[in-house]
Structure 1
Amino acid sequence: MSYLLGGVALAALAAAIAIVRSFRPAPLPAPEPWAGPLPEAVPPPTMAVYQLPTGTYENRAFLAYRGGAFRDRRRFAATAVLVRHPAGDLLIDAGFGADVDAHLATMPSYRRTPHEAGATVRDQLRAKGYDMTRLRGVVITHAHWDHVSGLDSLDAPVWLNPAEARYVARARDAGVFRHVTRHHEIHHYTFDGPPYLGFPASHDVHGDGSVVIVEAGGHTDGSVVVFVTLPGGRRYAFVGDLTWQTEGVTLRAERPKVLQLLADVDPARVRASLRRIIALAGRVHVVPAHDVRAHDPIPLWSES
């Protein structure tokens, strides 16, 4: 995310958001709840997910969603998720890397947020004796720096769809991605599967329905949602930056208009995908990438 402002700029943005709020109601129209069956999935018994927090940065709720309080300071997550599967493990996003300070320094000064860096994904995996040959790749929800910084210390293929490949080739905000992946293998995948839970196209990673990536562009050209189904039937939707906090789902609250213009390449597409996720609330556990609270039900890799 990385949109904490300072001083006069912060006050000016607060005033602008207040004006915009007065002209447009905050909540999105409520979609019809998903009433159909959930897609078939046959996850293997040994499949599991773990969170690997790599640090946090500070932001204000009023910048994250419409109706958020100016005084509500929150720790925003920079957390990777390890999905273990006998056919090969995947990471969803990479968190902060060893050179996080240098990566943050590439951002404009008004987007350099106060942050606390923890152990990188690589260090956390090695501390538990993880066999790195099991890591099939890193699926990025999108190519912004705070989702890919940790690629600087990971030797694993980076999964990229065609729309996000176009984004990283042209976008200034993908500079860190281009830098940290210059020596990485890029695994190109396509949305070769049918519609999935209201999303127009999908890619079933293992062919068993346990990990399904869906097309959800709008924040970036090729941003995605990753659905994970575990043995026992619990389902997660890792939604990246469709919303920065869970209130985007529970309150149907979009980003403030000013932040939409700064952060999203196509706010209308983000809105459509967010409403699809809202329709699934209660059927799947939604995990916005930057909401620390949403990661709480996922066990820590360090305690595995």
Structure 2
Amino acid sequence: MNFEVTVTCAVTGAGNTLGRHPGVPVTPEQIANSVIDAAKAGATFAHIHVRDPATGKGSRDPKLFKEVVDRVRSSGTDVVINLTAGMGGDWVPGDSDPSMPGPGTDMIGARERLAHVESLRPEICSLDCGTMNFGNGNEIYISTPAYLREMAGLIKSWGVKPELEVFELGHIRFAKQMIAEGLIADPPMFQICLGIPWGADHTVDTMKCMKDELPPKAVWAGFGISRMQMPMAAAAVAMGGNVRVGLEDNLYLDRGVLATNAQLVERAIEIVTRMGARVLTPAEARAKLGLKKG
């Protein structure tokens, strides 16, 4: 059991969710306001993607990240900023020539994936620790060992804490290899990501299996998508971990009731407190994890 819990709010993501929920934040102003609302509701961390304001699709434009971060930092609301570094690894084989990229491919190099992290220096950025099939089409998310080693080294040199996002056991195995090679500073920080097709399933047994493979000093959180968001939040706390919620992973507060990010944070905090734990403030989390405030 974890009695001092951090709550992350993943406010928007990059998925095609706008058609199902008109309240998913899109513009930098909307995303920043949603971060601020989540922080005021009690979130410790904000995990931030950006979207193209014209299309609503996920973006990796550093200017959009800068506008969001500047708005949050200037708001006077304290929250630990966690920027995604997971964009730029999408590969879709071409229909006529599978050796060539098809529509939907967005594949860039290791350092380019971190352009916004290098310039903005958030406290945390995500690091997706392996390649996986993504969804039911031909899309592959590519994150190779060479890319990951380069990215981990750069992130460490900038004083940013990598959140090691792991979607299956092989990702944990390679993350531990990077730790052994000195590429990840103590304490390592893991996010166990469950339910994404086709990574590990969002069940209590799966979470425990993955948690048991983490290194002894690891600080970890876990989440499940869709209707398993809150059950996995409770399971993570019971097993000694931390919590992630938000519209990136789940659109509903209750069956048929669309949520806001702040409402999902409030629901998670209610679960945490009813379990006898408390939620750490951003300042307490920075001290615990040795984070450098941006």
**What TM-score results when the alignment is normalised by the length of structure 1?**
0.32
**What TM-score results when the alignment is normalised by the length of structure 2?**
0.32
